[in-house]
Amino acid sequence: MQVLILAGGFATRLWPLTEKRAKPLLLLNGKPLISHIVERIPQKTKIAISTNQIFKTDFEKWRENFTDREIDIFIEDSENDDVKKGALGATALFIQEKKLQDDLVLIAGDNYFDFNFEDFLKTFDNNPLIAVFDIKSKKAARKFGVVNLNHQNRVESFEEKPLEPNSSLVSTGLYIFPQKNLNDIIFYAKEKNDDLGGIFEYFLNQKKQTIDCFSFDQGWYDIGSFSAYIDAHQTLQKNQKIKTKSVQIDADSKLEGAVYLGENVQILNSFLKNTIVLANSKIQDCVIRESVIDQNSELYNIDLTQKMIRANSKIIN
């Protein structure tokens, strides 16, 4: 079985934080989101990361943290959002170039999940398999692929981002495709290269294909927006204060909630709550809440709530 983690998107909704950084490399509870995914995959499973030319070096550097795993960095030639392959297009390209003959586990690289991955794999029965989560709100389900199940707990219908969902059960970006269906992905991607969920509508409407379901109720986050990222940060890091190398915090400063401080960060006479401050940044005489301060930034005498500050910024009030 082959695992492919999709990490080639440009995540424009999270700019400027992801303007020069792949979303799966965002820190969550002190380490990159994609590291959480890889650590849940069984040790001997083949893993590939599909990304674009812009992020190639970043992922190669990240891979150095997994010397005990064989991880292939698969590069598509996209250099901006206008010419990207799309999730399904990148998957089809990988299948074709690798001449894949295995069953394929496909994972969206901007997901955090808590379930036991072995249980997911054991559910696979040579039919396409979707991991689903009950988001408990039909309104919230509008942002996702919505799944309806029949009495046999199999997928009866799938609708991508419906205006009026009739279920709160959503697709979580984790799938298994049997080898017999890989050519269907290649065929469908020619017309809908960025419609990953649509392949299941295609299976149901054209192929009359049985689609199985893996339901879980453990933690799950789709890091698709700034608010989702901050929510995940607060929930997973809880009230921990994570401080890396050479962090300086003076006696007049206070940290509250989930705070992450990268290397060489200075916090002087400031209050921080549920905030991420990346390396080599200095914060003085500030109040910062639910925000992300990118690396090499300097902030003086400002009050920020729910903001993203671009790398190398210098803001003085």
- pLDDT digits over 113-153, tens only? 999 999 999 999 999 999 999 999 999 999 898 998 888 88
Of the residues 187, 210, 235, which one is the last residue of a structural domain?
235
Out of 4-18, 156-170, 222-236, 300-314, give the one with best mean pLDDT: 300-314
Whether residues 26 and 38 fall in one domain = yes
Residues 249 and 147 occupy one common structural domain: no
Do 108 and 157 share a domain, yes or no? Answer: yes
Residues 6+ apart with CB under 8 A from 248: 265, 266, 267, 268
pLDDT given at position 83: 45
For residue 228, which phi and psi values (nearest 5 degrees)?
-65, -40
Structure tokens at 113: 């999940």
Q: Enter the pTM of the model.
A: 0.90
Q: For residue 84, what pLDDT band results from cuts at 50, 70 and 90?
A: low
> pLDDT digit string (tens) for 187-197?
988 887 777 77
- Domain range holding 261? 238-316
Same domain, 174 and 216: yes
Q: Where are the beta strands (DSSP E) in 19-154?
A: 27-28, 31-32, 46-52, 71-76, 104-108, 111-113, 129-134, 145-149
Residue 249 pLDDT > 50: yes
Please state the rounded mean pLDDT for residues 291-312.
Answer: 95
Same domain as 10, residue 125: yes
The predicted pLDDT at position 80 comes to: 46
Q: Distance (Å, rounded) from C-alpha 110 to C-alpha 36?
A: 11
Each residue of 222-247: pLDDT tens digit? 888 888 899 999 999 999 999 999 99
Q: Give me the CATH number covering residue 295.
A: 2.160.10.10
Does 216 share its domain with 264? Answer: no
Distance, CA of 173 to CA of 294 (rounded, Å): 27
Q: Which of 198, 219, 235 is the last residue of a domain?
A: 235
The winner for highest mean pLDDT among 6-10, 160-164, 173-177 is 173-177
Cα(253)–Cα(255) distance, integer angstroms: 7
Tell me, what's the pLDDT at 52? Answer: 87
Mean pLDDT value across residues 151-168: 88
